[in-house]
A and B are shown apart, each in its own frame.
Chain A
Amino acid sequence: MASNPYFSLTVLFTAALGFGLAPLGLAWLWARVFSPAKPNAVKNDIYECGLESRGDAWMQFHSAYYLYAIIFLIFDVEAVFLLPFAVAFSGLSAAACGAMLVFVLLLVEGLAWAWAKGVLTWQ
């Protein structure tokens, strides 16, 4: 049996499995023997900063919020790329600079579209 090439692997696998399962088993045993569960209605209630939860969590959000999501994306993505662009600006070639300007212009175009549509005015 010990001559089997997989023998050492089996031993290691069993040890690894035991290493993982033994703490879980011990924790389960400890909980069984020493820490009785005391569930009740207040304890099992939804945690809401101490306040009683009201209403349903499965409510719908208005689909018009997609505009805010898009505008957020414009500024968010822009800021992420503007920072490394500014840092590496002095060492950039004209082509790289042009590519970056195209990218920024695309986002500005989106912003201009949103502005023209009147999204930026709060209703």
Chain B
Amino acid sequence: MDEGLKIELGKQGVFVTTIQELYNWGRRSSIWPMQFGLACCAIEMIATTMARYDLARFGAEVFRPSPRQADLMIVSGTVTKKMAPQVVRLYNQMAEPKYVIAMGACAISGGPFKQGYNVLKGIDRYIPVDVHIPGCPPRPEALMQAFMTLQKKIDGQHLTGEERPRFLDAEQQGEFPVPVQGEHDLEPAFNKGVWTVPVVIR
């Protein structure tokens, strides 16, 4: 529907919408995160839900203790290689549509532990990440910014057509392989469908 016409109708007191808009509005106003914290970023995540920052304004205060009921996974902190299979398995067990916020330097790249032997260099190697937040740890404001970014993303999703997201497309994959501890590293080292080795331009 034409935006200008919609605004004109709104001025006359006529509210029009589409099923897609209504659906996206409902989804973005009730993003229930999974109750799941990995490291120090989780403390900031907890602070975000409390009275001062009040995540409830976004309809996202209901932290679910089970992946079956959660819409959003906030990877809040260092993902060690010991923990990575569990994180990927939990993501797999969430019901579609599901979203991921990678919170903090560790979750997006390994952060200060990037050169270490035991820390995953970014959770986006195994699962698709919707919003990355830099920071060590990011402040609650940054997490709220990530929420708003995610809400904008959900708002822009189409129900039909080629551009429609994964959960509406029966053809697209729904399983993300869970890595196992190999002799030297996690196997596989990354999920080929999600992440590719970046080309370094010198």
* Residues of A bordering B, CB below 8 Å: 34-36, 38-43, 45, 47, 49-52
Known: A40-B92, A42-B178, A47-B66. A34 touches B87 (CB 8 A): no
Closest chain-B Cβ to A28's Cβ sits at a distance in Å of: 16
> 22 A-B contacts, Cβ less than 8 Å apart?
A34-B159, A34-B168, A36-B167, A36-B169, A36-B170, A38-B167, A38-B170, A38-B175, A39-B174, A40-B92, A40-B175, A42-B178, A43-B92, A43-B93, A43-B174, A45-B93, A47-B67, A50-B85, A50-B86, A50-B89, A51-B86, A51-B89
The answer to whether A35 touches B93, judged by C-beta atoms less than 8 angstroms apart, is no
The residues of B that contact A45 with a CB separation of less than 8 Å are: 89, 93
Per-position binary interface string of chain B over residues 65-92, scored 1 when its CB falls under 8 Å from any chain A CB and 0 otherwise: 0111000000000000000011101101
B155 within 8 Å of A (CB atoms)? no
List residues 166-185 of chain B with CB under 8 A from any CB of chain A.
167-170, 174-175, 178
Q: Closest 4 interchain pairs by CB? A: A38-B174, A50-B86, A36-B170, A40-B175
CB-CB nearest in chain A for B172: A38
* Residues of B bordering A, CB below 8 Å: 66-68, 85-87, 89-90, 92-93, 96, 159, 167-170, 174-175, 178
A36 vs B174: C-alpha distance when bound (angstroms): 10
CB-CB nearest in chain A for B67: A47
**Interface residue SS majority, chain B:** helix
The residues of B that contact A38 with a CB separation of less than 8 Å are: 96, 167, 170, 174-175
The residues of B that contact A34 with a CB separation of less than 8 Å are: 159, 168
A9 vs B90: C-alpha distance when bound (angstroms): 50
The answer to whether B168 touches A43, judged by C-beta atoms less than 8 angstroms apart, is no
A52 vs B175: C-alpha distance when bound (angstroms): 16
The answer to whether B93 touches A47, judged by C-beta atoms less than 8 angstroms apart, is yes
CB-CB nearest in chain B for A39: B174
The answer to whether B167 touches A40, judged by C-beta atoms less than 8 angstroms apart, is no
A44 vs B168: C-alpha distance when bound (angstroms): 19
A36 vs B173: C-alpha distance when bound (angstroms): 11
The answer to whether B167 touches A35, judged by C-beta atoms less than 8 angstroms apart, is yes
